[in-house]
Amino acid sequence: MASTILSLRDVTKRYGATLAVGPISLEVETGEFLTLLGPSGCGKTTTLHIIAGLLHPDEGRVTMGERDLTRVAPPYRDMGLVFQNYALFPHKTIAENVAFGLRMRNVGKPEIARRVAAMLDLVGLPGVEGRFPDQLSGGQRQRVALARALVIEPTVLLLDEPLSNLDALLRKRMRLELRDIQRRLGITTIFVTHDQDEAFEMSDRVALLNAGRIEQLGPPEALYDAPATRFVAEFIGEASLLEGRIVGRRDGEAAIELPGGTVVAAAAGPGTPGVGQSALLFVRPERVSLGPDQPGAAGLRVRVERRVFSGEVVSFALRTESGQSLLCKKPSVGEYRAVEPGTWLRATPIECRALAAGAP
């Protein structure tokens, strides 16, 4: 069983009349890579700064083990923070930058030199001790910021969009490198990003934030397969949401009737409406099976509106007889690879979910 290392209990933060965060409750497990994901302004940085101690919550508590951190100043929290803009000291050498936290803690000179060199080695930058930040590339500066946060051997590492200033290629490489270093050190990490791919590729668990609150928290697979709300369904990946009505409910399952009378079985959760109410059928594009439009055949009658070939996959924009759109993606092999716009087909959504219509 994983143990909890850090807890947030009903944390809120207001700026004047605006509620920036909360209430948020969160338990971070020892050694995990947890990501706070969400659109701009949803409260990611505010939450991270509350954890780091740079901001005080208006209500709620932050604890590490038995220790209440709410009133503990940042240097005494045993956390390493990498800011979005790295915030390296421009007039200090790389060695002095990395050594900063150790000097604050009165570590002896020979020990500092040894640990700085070992840390620069770890982030793949041996030998740059004597340079200044402006003599390094963006990606190298990012690694120095990481080394500076890690050298104090913090219990928790906090990263605020550390890859957002890098070009696309370097960004992808650094994702893997960062994840590698995190695994090797086994350090509990809280990572902030608005990039879903980044969150999914790196994290053990993802907390999706919406307007200062956690909309859903779980492994990437859970958010992708079983979004709890319309917000999650629309933020994560691609999906179609077909309007219908609940005509049957039992444990974990619902039957949704779509306009035209087709009834589709769907997984149901706590947020699924009851019988007789309107609902949304949530369908992932790779989970639509296609067949010929024959009399008596199963599935929704759909017309191909657009076909887009992008190499490994072919995407079809489909439209139902009642005018709802359904997206379908197929590997670009097999019989449907070449289906032309205008063709009528039968589409059967599989592994779908029933969601409350809610606010878009």
Residue 162 as a binder of ligand ATP (CB under 6 A): the answer is no
- Long-range pairs, 132-136, Cβ under 8 A, ≥24: 132/90, 132/91, 132/92, 132/93, 132/94, 133/86, 133/88, 133/89, 133/90, 133/94, 133/97, 134/90, 136/94
Three-state DSSP state, 30: coil
Q: From residue 57 to residue 86, what is the string marking binding to ligand ATP with x (rule CB under 6 A)? A: ------------------------------
Stretch touching ligand ATP by CB under 6 A, among 35-43, 264-272, 291-299, 324-332: 35-43
Residue 142 as a binder of ligand ATP (CB under 6 A): the answer is no
Helix, strand, coil shares of the chain as percentages rounded to 5?
25, 35, 40
Quote the least distance from Cβ 124 to ligand ATP, whole Å: 27
Check residue 334 and report its DSSP letter.
S
Query: Alpha-carbon distance 36 to 202, whole Å?
Result: 12
Residue 35 as a binder of Mg ion (CB under 5 A): the answer is no
Query: Alpha-carbon distance 115 to 120, whole Å?
Result: 9
Q: Which residue is nearest to Mg ion (CB)?
A: 45
Q: From residue 167 to residue 196, what is the string marking binding to ligand ATP with x (rule CB under 6 A)? A: ---------------------------x--
Quote the least distance from Cβ 215 to ligand ATP, whole Å: 13
Task: Give the pair of three-digit tokens for residue 71.
Answer: 């009133």
Quote the least distance from Cβ 23 to ligand ATP, whole Å: 15
3 Cβ contact list (under 8 Å, min separation 6) = 29, 30
Q: Which of 2, 15, 65, 263 binds ligand ATP (CB under 6 A)?
A: 15
Structural contact between residues 57 and 34, judged by C-beta atoms closer than 8 angstroms: no
Task: Give the pair of three-digit tokens for residue 213.
Answer: 């609150």
Considering beta carbons, is residue 53 or 273 the nearer one to ligand ATP?
Answer: 53
Quote the least distance from Cβ 201 to ligand ATP, whole Å: 19
Residue 193 as a binder of Mg ion (CB under 5 A): the answer is no
Considering beta carbons, is residue 56 or 183 the nearer one to ligand ATP?
Answer: 56
Query: Alpha-carbon distance 161 to 289, whole Å?
Result: 38
Q: In whole angstroms, how far apart are CA 357 and each of 229, 263, 279, 337?
A: 9, 17, 5, 33
Q: How many CB atoms lie within 10 A of CB 20?
A: 20
Residue 45 as a binder of Mg ion (CB under 5 A): the answer is yes
Structural contact between residues 252 and 267, judged by C-beta atoms closer than 8 angstroms: yes
Number of residues located near ligand ATP, criterion CB under 6 A:
12
Quote the least distance from Cβ 168 to ligand ATP, whole Å: 19
Considering beta carbons, is residue 21 or 354 the nearer one to ligand ATP?
Answer: 21
Considering beta carbons, is residue 36 or 300 the nearer one to ligand ATP?
Answer: 36
Residue 106 as a binder of ligand ATP (CB under 6 A): the answer is no
Stretch touching ligand ATP by CB under 6 A, among 36-44, 108-116, 146-154, 253-261: 36-44
Residue 56 as a binder of ligand ATP (CB under 6 A): the answer is no
Stretch touching ligand ATP by CB under 6 A, among 38-46, 291-299, 320-328, 344-352: 38-46
Q: State the sign of the Cα–Cα–Cα–Cα dihedral 334, 337, 343, 348.
A: positive
Quote the least distance from Cβ 290 to Mg ion, whole Å: 42
Residue 42 contacts which entry, Mg ion, ligand ATP, none (Cβ below 5-8 A, type-dependent)? ligand ATP
218 Cβ contact list (under 8 Å, min separation 6) = 205, 206
The distance between the two most distant Cα atoms of the chain, rounded to a whole number of Å, is 83
Q: Which of 22, 33, 43, 86 binds ligand ATP (CB under 6 A)?
A: 43
DSSP string, 55-93: S--SEEEEEETTEE-TT--GGGS-EEEE-TT----TTS-
Stretch touching Mg ion by CB under 5 A, among 39-47, 198-206, 217-225, 249-257: 39-47
* CA-based radius of gyration for the chain: 25
Q: List residues binding ligand ATP (CB under 6 A).
A: 15, 18, 20, 38, 40-46, 194
Residues that bind Mg ion (CB under 5 A): 45
